[in-house]
Structure 1
Amino acid sequence: MDQLSSLLHGFEVLLTWHNMLLMLVGILLGIFVGVLPGLGGPNGVAILLPLTFGMEPTSAIVLLSCIYWGALFGGAITAILFNIPGEAWSVATTFDGYPMAQKGQAGEALTAAFTASFFGSIVAVVVITFLAPLVAGFAIRFGPPEFFAVYLLTFCSFIGLGREDKHKIVIALTIGFLLTQVGMDTVSGQLRMTFGSTEMLRGFDFLVAVIGLFGVGEILLTMEESFSFRGQQAKINPRVVFETWKKMPKYYMTLFRSSAIGVWLGITPGGAIAASFMGYSIAKQVARDKTGFGQGRIDGVLAPETAAHAAGTSALLPMLALGIPGSGTAAVLLGGLMVWGLQPGPLLFVEQKDFVWGLIASMYLGNIVGLIIVLATVPLFAAVLRVPFATIAPMILVSCAVGAYAVQNATFDIWLMLLFGILGYVFKKLNYPLAPLVLALVLGDKAEDAFRQAMIGARGSMWVFYSNPLVGTITTLGILLLVLPLLSDTFAKIKARRAGTHDIVPPPVSEA
């Protein structure tokens, strides 16, 4: 009941004309961001984050989170109508969404995608409502060893559970760690890797790096790929909406199963991309009639969209309760919280109740308003893709430059943004993940500080990470996740070797 009363208090904080207007603007901007293949949720939030510096924190997080919800919805529009995923997690939606649009069922496919997205998000928000305070209350017992153990668990889980090549994840993390070392050492006060440059004394600002990696990097990649936009026209009328909704109860298992997958992969660092593919794959595996997948099945749209939105929303749970982002967008929002003077973690629920519960309330209301808006504005946002990218790209680039300059009013940051943009482009061309790099940029210095504080308190003894059952359990779990790929490969080789042994046929015995 405490959670319900706190949630009602959050709605009281949220339901002001100012916050409601910001919510509406954020959702519209988010849908626009999701529709454009050159942007995306993390990019839009990163680019617009500097504009919120003068806002009150609750209003700022409402605006930015609603941009995220809108982007989650908007990615499905291009995936279904144009076979161009506006977001990476919308790739799986194209498998059946675009064939449905080609068969004249674009309205049905879009309604199914938006409704599934809404369902997955609401399930994730309910989980956040009831689990976040429990996780936060448990985490109050944390000191420097426990916090470092959690950081270690996060980094190791990215390696152990990530879908990308493990060596690429390690390289991305390492580069992020190196970048966090530039500037002043927060423990000793000494300068590190500034190479005599006064501009490097501040180090690499997280926001400048993110704007470059995501915004400029995506623009360069999109310019190279030269998208040509040819798609299906779509109108959603109430009759199509209600007819599609009548079919939904038949797919209730798909909705709940994909929601569970999404929530789990959102809380762990699996992310929305992995959730969407896993939701689609499992829906295909458990279906009684497996034919028709990839040719325009409605459950082929429901499964990835539900899982992706559940993952994207539940990724905010570890950020709020532990200060550990579960996705790239959550990492950007984590940086925003620090800029606004808030410290994510267990004490946030005690010291900033208005902020936390206002954010959770905006998740409920923002998804309801977002569902209504996307159902009403599909033709408008689909028309955006008719605008040549050569017209849109310079506008995006200027927005990135303004955002980077606004961080510290330094022209040098614009050059850094361009360098990070080139780095982001190279990463994407070589299929290196950006999320580990962003995670290391956000948490690298904090992990270092927690480790050194723990070492100082324990006089250099590494056994401090096994000094009590809590920190020992977290540390052991992190190490297990780190070696999980190695163990999996070893067991797979042993299994294959045994199978090969059993398959050997003995030579025939000669009758002579």
Structure 2
Amino acid sequence: MGALEGLLTGFQVAISWEGILFVLIGVFVGTFIGMLPGLGPISAIAVMIPVTFGMDPTVALIMMAGVYYGAIFGGSTSSILLNAPGVAGTVATSFDGYPMAQQGKAGKALAIAAVCSFAGGTISVVLLMLLAPALSSVAIAFGPPAYFALMVMGLTAISSLSEGSTIKALISAVVGFMIVTIGIDAQTGTQRFTFGNVNLLEGLDFLVIALGLFALAEVCSLIINRNDTSASNAHKLGSLKLTKQDFSEMKGPVTRQSFLGFILGVLPGAGATIASFIAYIAEKKIAKNPEEFGKGSVRGIAAPETANNAATSGAFVPLLSLGIPGSGTTAVMLGAFLVLGVQPGPLLMVDRPEIFWGIIASMYIGNVFLLILNLPLIPYFAKILKIPRPLLISLVIMFSMIGVYAISFNTFDLYMLLLFGFIGFLMRLFAFPAAPFILAFILGGMMEQSFRQSLTISNGSLSIFINEPIALSLLIVSLLSFVFPLIRQLRKRRG
């Protein structure tokens, strides 16, 4: 069955009254859950698995796919309005989305996020339709050395995330590396930096740190600066209308990051979070005015929002074509497939084409529904900004704690949330950027694991990183991205 014929089969499923209804339910539930800090698509899909018992597998999986990309789509709302990332994949959106909201342009920021999310999601669905079978082999070709080189390439951009001193950015990244090593070493089984506390054996969850460093740190700043009258603009929605200049600035990031996000989503283990960070970094590196990033840049919102939505579609490539989950969310999706009696993998397209193509076709419809749902609701979302500051602070703390507790049902994580909130406030006070900390935490664990797996394969020889073409290419790109900024700085000094 060809791609066009398969897609027509998929649309027959997706455009049925059941298909449309359950796509709408999925994206609505996903959007709502994505807005709540800490409650991501993993929790939503896990809760909905029992709901789907007895349902037609095709319709049930279409609905759960809608929950997944709907949560990523809606997660930007709390990141922009409250600096409290709804899902991990929208942390990078808060870097410019929240400053823009603070300038009284919350409506514009939410509109940019909605349009770019729609564009990234739609372009990536086209790529998924055309390239799913071919890219599954690319995903397999990425072994541990290539993953290590990819993580190194991401880390070379730490200096790009510094808001001032590069030394402070590097210190922040080192602390992020230290934090990610907490827990049981997966290879040797030894405990690292747990200090005898059983609650630290599994390490610290990403959202505990993200909500602490961003949401609670912002709460601390609001409390300390409660008499600051300069924050009055933060209560303004501003115009939702996007100008020709805005669309001109969005065009480049949307085109580039749709492809980049999709490709990173295809790689097992990368996912929307890494895609959004790398997209933000890449866009800042090629920008003519990189100093605008972090201060409410249109491109700073467009890049991560495009990439994280593109990555969600990319994550379905290894899941549908190989039966390999590419992220935590698709791992839960794999469980849903198996519970419903469907075995994803190379034979899915042949044996159950209505499921394979039905999910892909439903994404076209789902992205349209998300745009229709989100754009008219922006004025209502933005009313969050008009909530009195004491009540708003209380709500942010409450939702952050509920989100963190819902991950593990462990009160220890609440203490860690408060601790990282205090650390985040101190980092702000002494001008240490939080972004390198988060990036190092995300990449550090995967980088260490890939490095050790590579050395195990090569019996301790570092030559494996040179002998493998993909790894070597990525390391060369990493070296160039590190050297070029230094050369540029030297030229400026001489000039």
TM-score range, shorter chain: 0.5 to 0.7
- In the superposition, relative to structure 1, how do residues 166 and 387 fare at CA in structure 2: closer, same or farther (>3 Å)? same
Maintained 8 Å contact 2:37/2:403: no
Q: Deviations over 1:416-463 (max 9, x none)?
A: 121122223334444544444334333422321221122122222211
Task: Provide the C-alpha distance between the structure 1 equivalents of 2:490 and 2:313, rounded to a whole number of angstroms.
Answer: 34
Deviations 1:75-130 (A, max 9, x none): 8899xxxxxxx9543478679995xx9xxxx9x99989865764565445545655
Alpha-carbon shift at residue 475 of structure 1 (Å): 2.3
Q: What do the CA deviations read for 1:257-303 (whole angstroms, capped 9, x no partner)?
A: 45335547856745459859988969x9xxxxxxxxxxxxxxx9987
Are 2:89 and 1:63 equivalent residues in the alignment?
Answer: no
Distance 1:109 1:408 in 2: 32
Shift, 1:399, TM fit? 2.6
Q: Which residue of 2 aligns with 1:469?
A: 469
User: Secondary structure of 1:54's partner?
Assistant: helix
Q: State the shift of 1:388 in Å.
A: 1.4
8 A contact 2:125–2:364 mirrored in 1: yes
Per the alignment, residue 313 of structure 1 pairs with 309
| Aligned mates of 1:48, 1:415 — CA distance in 2 | 24
How many angstroms apart in 2 are the aligned matches of 1:110 and 1:211? 20
**Counterpart-to-counterpart distance in 2, 1:303 and 1:442:** 23
- Aligned AA (1:24): F
Judging changes above 3 Å, is the alpha-carbon distance between structure 1 residues 340 and 477 closer, same or farther for their aligned structure 2 residues? Answer: same
Q: Structure 1 182/113 Cα, relative in aligned 2: closer, same or farther at 3 Å? A: closer
Q: CA deviation at 1:134?
A: 4.7
| Structure 1 counterpart of 2:183 | 183
In the other structure, the counterpart of 2:28 is 24
**Pair 1:231-2:236 in alignment:** yes
Residue 154 of structure 1 deviates from its aligned partner by 2.4
Residue type at the aligned position of 2:236:
G
AA in 1 matched with 2:309? T
The residue number in structure 1 matching 2:213 is: 213
In the TM superposition, what whole-angstrom CA distance separates every residue of 1:219-271 from its partner, at most 9, and x where no partner exists? 3334445444553688x9xxxx9xx9xx97x9986664453355478567454
Q: 1:337 to 1:123 in 2, by over 3 A?
A: closer
Q: Identify which range, 192-201 or 355-364, moves more after superposition.
A: 355-364
Between stretches 169-178 and 159-168, larger displacement belongs to 159-168
1:89 aligns with 2:99: no
SS at match of 2:96: helix
Give the root-mean-square deviation of aligned CA atoms: 5.0
> Is the contact made by 2:112 and 2:298 (CA closer than 8 Å) also made in structure 1?
yes
- Decide whether aligned partners of structure 1 residues 278 and 16 sit closer, same or farther in structure 2, where only a CA change above 3 A counts: same
Q: Which residue is 2:193 aligned to?
A: 193
The residue identity in structure 2 corresponding to 1:159 is I
Written as runs of structure 1 = structure 2, the 5 A alignment for 1:292-303 is none
Which residue identity is paired with 1:89? Answer: D
Closer/same/farther in 2, CA of residues 10 and 434 from structure 1, 3 Å limit: farther
Please say if 1:405 is aligned against 2:405. yes
Distance of 2:31 and 2:382 partners within structure 1: 16
- Contact 2:124-2:313 at 8 Å conserved across structures: no
Q: Distance in 2 between matches of 1:109 and 1:460?
A: 49
Aligned to 1:159: 158
How many Å apart are 1:148 and its aligned residue?
A: 1.7
Alpha-carbon distance between aligned partners in 2 of 1:217 and 1:130, rounded to the nearest angstrom = 44
Partner of residue 260, structure 1: 255
The Cα offsets for residues 20-45 of structure 1, whole Å up to 9 and x where unpaired, read as 31312333565xx4xxxxxxxxx735
1:231 alignment partner AA: K
Whether the 8 Å contact between 2:80 and 2:109 is mirrored in structure 1 is no
Q: Contact 2:42–2:328 (CA<8 Å) still a contact in 1?
A: no
The DSSP-based 3-state class of the residue aligned with 2:386 is coil
* Contact 2:280-2:300 at 8 Å conserved across structures: no
| Closer, same or farther: CA 77–150 of 1 in aligned 2, 3 Å | closer
Instruction: Give the secondary structure class of the aligned counterpart of 2:187.
Output: coil
Change (3 A) 1:350 1:460: same
Distance 1:232 1:449 in 2: 45
| 1:172 corresponding residue in structure 2 | 172
Kindly state the Cα deviation for residue 214 of structure 1 after the two structures are TM-superposed: 3.7
- Contact 1:89–1:272 (8 Å) recurs in 2: no
The answer to whether the Cα contact below 8 Å between 2:33 and 2:39 also exists between their aligned partners in 1 is no
Contact 1:272 1:312 (8 Å CA) reproduced? no
DSSP-derived class of the 1:167 partner: helix
User: Are the aligned partners of 2:253 and 2:303 in contact in 1 as well (CA < 8 Å)?
Assistant: yes
51-60 or 457-466: bigger deviation: 51-60
CA contact (8 A) 2:38 2:400 kept: no
TM-superposed CA distance for 1:415, in Å, is 0.7
Q: Distance in 2 between matches of 1:163 and 1:405?
A: 31
- Name the SS of the counterpart of 1:452 in structure 2: helix
2:453, 2:285 → 1: CA distance? 41
Q: Distance in 2 between matches of 1:280 and 1:360?
A: 37
Gaps of 5+ in 2: 50-59, 83-92, 265-274, 320-325, 336-343
Distance 1:356 1:203 in 2: 36
Identity percentage over the alignment? 26
Q: Which residue of 1 aligns with 2:394?
A: 394
1:446-486 deviation line (CA, Å, top 9, x unaligned): 32122112212222221111123232222222233233332
Residue 385 of structure 1 aligns with an amino acid whose one-letter code is: L
Report Cα offsets for 1:385-416 as digits up to 9, x if no partner.
33213223323322322332233332211111
Pick aligned residue for 2:19 from 15, 19, 25: 15
The normalised TM-score by structure 1 is 0.65
- Cα distance change on mapping 1:200 and 1:362 into 2, 3 Å: same
Normalising by the residue count of structure 2, what TM-score does the alignment of the two structures yield?
Answer: 0.67
Give the match's secondary structure for 1:385: helix
For 2:254, give the aligned amino acid.
Answer: S
Look up the equivalent residue of 1:44 and give its one-letter code. P
Local SS of the residue matching 1:405: helix
Aligned length: 431
**Number of the residue aligned with 1:326:** none
Structure-2 change in CA distance of 1:212 and 1:448 (3 Å): same
Alpha-carbon distance between aligned partners in 1 of 2:221 and 2:493, rounded to the nearest angstrom: 38
